[in-house]
Structure 1
Amino acid sequence: MEILKQLHANKPITPPSLPPSSQESVISPDNKEASDVSYRSSRLDEICSLYNRFWKIIYRTRQLLLTNALEALIVGLVLGTIYINIGYDKEGIEKRFGLFAFTLTFLLSSTTETLPIFLNERPILLRETSSGVYRLSSYLIANTLVFLPYLLAIAIIYSISVYFLVGLCASWQAFAYFVLVIWIIVLMANSFVLFLSSLAPNYIAGTSLVTILLGSFFLFSGYFISKDSMPKYWLFMHFFSMYKYALDALLINEYSCLVSRCFLWYNETSTCMVTGADVLQKKGLHERQRWTNIYILVGFFVFYRLLCLLVLIRRVSRSKK
């Protein structure tokens, strides 16, 4: 296997030739990952080798990933032409809400296309980690480092294609924040799919899990039914929904830029009935929540990767029995 050749080239395999640093890393740092495995390379060597390996996998599946980039561009342009010059009236408020909701649905659901890549890698991962070729944590770190720039490119492509056509807030700070939110959304979705790929027995089950869970998160996001209208015994799902915090972040970014902008006039007179600040207030949002939502989304990203690590640790330990 390719990763074995790379790691063997970095460090000798025979125990007498292992450097002190490798001997010390036999168990202590990754006691949960493997109780009696002697790792053959340092963590840095493992991450570098796995990083190169992932880029080769991406290159081999470039048709799928280039399709994702083209999909982001086309969907962004289509949405941009549908919501072009969105306007500043009551209809504009509804259109912005619909645009952001569809954006989240598209971005979160499109990442399921990476599910077969993760599922195909899993048997190799379990075999190599149980043999002490590399640590599970090194695998996840390398995986994260590879997808960070790729998903940033997807976020930029989508944002440029939709943002200016629609006519969202004309501020470079607002646009930069929009790109940041989109990037974190696709990273979080990638982490979510990675977790489910570690859990699901096969592609069909994995796809079903992704569909059911994303549908549930969207249902409780506050788009279809407000938080105040939800039964109390379902309220926990609202706060556990990835859609909620992403949707709130996009709404705050847009209307914080338009706090003084009037969206509804009284009988076409000079009396303003609804401003951007009123829209935020009606949704129970405030500008100070701008970064809180970002922190929560990043927390989801880390949370699902940690869950993935725990599931894989369990699978490795079971494979040794």
Structure 2
Amino acid sequence: MSQSKITLRPPPNVEFVQGYPGIPPGQERPQAEVKGIIELRFGKEGMKSKWVRVELRKVEVLPTGGAANTFYDFIGPSPFDVWRATNEYDILTTRDFQFRLRIPETIPPSIALERGAGIKYELIASVCIKGKRGVLRKDASSVLSSTAQIVIDKHELHQAWPIYCQPNSKATEMNNLTLEVTRGNTCYGPGDRVSVTATLKSDSFPTVVLRAFEFMLQETVMFRASPKAKKGGPLVRVTVIGEQKVPVNATMYCGMHHVAELGCMIPHNHTSTTVNSARHIDITYKIIVRAIMETGKPYIIEMPVIMSNWSRSSSIDAVR
């Protein structure tokens, strides 16, 4: 047993993750996969073994961690046997096994959050070996394992994809006042400027006073514990990524409109991304635009945003 060893290695000169996770395969895009080699090293006589398998699993960790806040899910057909004995145990000698595991398009990306929370992926190779028979017990077996941490980035989150670069608008109307917000993109990443055009139109015969426009880019992180947890309800944390206030103080007559360009910069060190396919962690983003009137009652429009963890230059290179 002391001479037995199992090791996980990526293919020569490349990483474990191959292809473009999150993007369907095509003529020029291979299927996203985890590829690698399981190296088994035994003594000269080999070892009686039952199976050799590999598995890919997702690990979701809630803030503060610990067993109660850590959740595991197998990804794809895991565990996957790369070798299995014909009988209960067969002699297995030193050898290498190649493997490939398909990466589903819908899995969430790897992400690190505050207080140890986040989503990560583990690749685990293991071999089941027959142990020695004891005086008072039947044959025992033991499992040798090797684990590798892998990072899965999602390529559907590139902000340069044409589907994210189509202008769109949203409007709300009340008391003969219409607030309309127009934007040119729906996906942004670190270092990008999020910008919108806000227009307030008045069809009101009594004059109204527009005090200001306000803009906010908001992140909402939701942590959902196990249904068996004693504390009820998810933990929700809301963070303002950026904001802007534009004073106006304009009197508006019927038929008039006022336009303002609003926005903010996303910090270059912002690493969180939209997550909507995990079991215990959700991360969403939205733009909130307010037109503040003299009465104090705001007109509000909210628009969802997809947040990427790719820089724009990386996205442009990837989408070409």
Fold conserved (TM > 0.5)?
no
1 or 2, which has the higher helix percentage?
1
1 or 2, which has the higher strand percentage?
2
**TM-score calculated relative to the size of structure 1:** 0.25
Higher relative contact order (CA 8 A, sep 6+): 1
